Amino acid sequence: MSPQEHGQELQAQENQETKRLLLQMMARMDTLTQEVIQLKEEKEELLKVGGAQTPSTQPSGEAGEKEARVAGIASDPPAPESGPTSHPTKTGPTKNLGPLAEFSGNREELEPWIAQAQAKLVVDYTSCTEATKFFMLHNRLRGEAARQLQP
């Protein structure tokens, strides 16, 4: 195998690994999004059923754990009730964390970029569709990283 062929093979392996990691990251973001939605629903249900509880009457065990999980998002306002429309509209992204850095395919930058992307999606894109999240991430890819996701 010539050095050029060896270099091309290594590049192809890196490209496959980058693609695999990006897909893995997107799957994890989907999971996190679902967990956030579930926690918000649990919080709303707890607020409807029990209202605010005093420290002496707080539940223990599994119910207490749910209360603790909900406490982290208690400051969020409840989601507005959906009206008679058949397709509720999603709100756009917020600007809490600023723009996501571009990723050019450099392996050393991948893990920090994934962490930043996950934070951006959880904080600023919670109410967006999966397609919007994907397009935002895809728009921040450059070079070989962007070419890996081209049809």
Say yes or no to pLDDT of 62 above 50. Answer: yes
Q: What is the mean pLDDT of the chain?
A: 76
pLDDT score recorded for residue 124: 86
Contact 145, 107 (CB under 8 A): no
Say yes or no to pLDDT of 58 above 80. Answer: no
Please write the tens of the pLDDT for every residue from 30-46: 888 888 888 888 888 88
Question: Which residues have CB under 8 Å from 96's CB, separation 6+?
Answer: 123, 124
pLDDT score recorded for residue 85: 47
Q: How far apart are CA 127 and CA 92, in angstroms?
A: 7
Residue 93 DSSP label: -
Say yes or no to pLDDT of 73 above 60. Answer: no
Buried-exposed string 47-68: b where 16+ CB fall within 10 A, e elsewhere? eeeeeeeeeeeeeeeeeeebbe
pLDDT score recorded for residue 6: 84
Say yes or no to pLDDT of 13 above 70. Answer: yes
pLDDT score recorded for residue 96: 79
Quick one: which of 12, 30, 25, 8 has its CA closest to 148?
12
